[in-house]
Amino acid sequence: MRDVNTISGIHVLRTMYTTKKCSIPRIQSSIYLDLYMLGKEKERLLKEAERLDLRFTVIKKRLEEISLEMDKLQDTEIISNAGRGKINPSGRASNQKNGVKKEWKKMPLNY
């Protein structure tokens, strides 16, 4: 089910408040309210920026861990296949047996 966060472009919508349009003329006493509201929005956006920075560093760290794990697994696969004599000149494990390429099994799908 789609929610507000999954709709593309929803985060850049401007509200009536952010466009500074109002059906009622501005009153001098509303300046303090505007300052308060803008201050709160600024605080909220700064906190959100901090959370995004933290989340970005966590994602970056996890991507590095995944990359290291993949390299480690590929190295162990190459080493295990080298012992069996299944290494290509490129250094990668081969999917071929006796020079014959393995074909995919195909089957028709009727709708």
Does this model's pTM top 0.95? My answer is no
* pLDDT of the residue at 93: 47
The runs of H, that is alpha helices, within the chain are: 16-19, 30-84
Report pLDDT for 78.
Answer: 82
Q: What is the pLDDT of residue 107?
A: 81
Q: What's the rounded Cα separation, in Å, for the pair 79 and 93?
A: 9
pLDDT in tens, the chain (111 residues): 566 666 766 666 666 556 666 666 666 667 888 889 999 999 999 999 999 999 999 999 999 999 999 999 998 888 887 777 655 545 544 555 566 677 788 888 887
pLDDT for res 32: 86
Residue 74 neighbours by CB distance under 10 Å: 13
Beta bridge partners of 87: 93
pLDDT of residue 108: 83
pLDDT at residue 110, as a whole number: 83
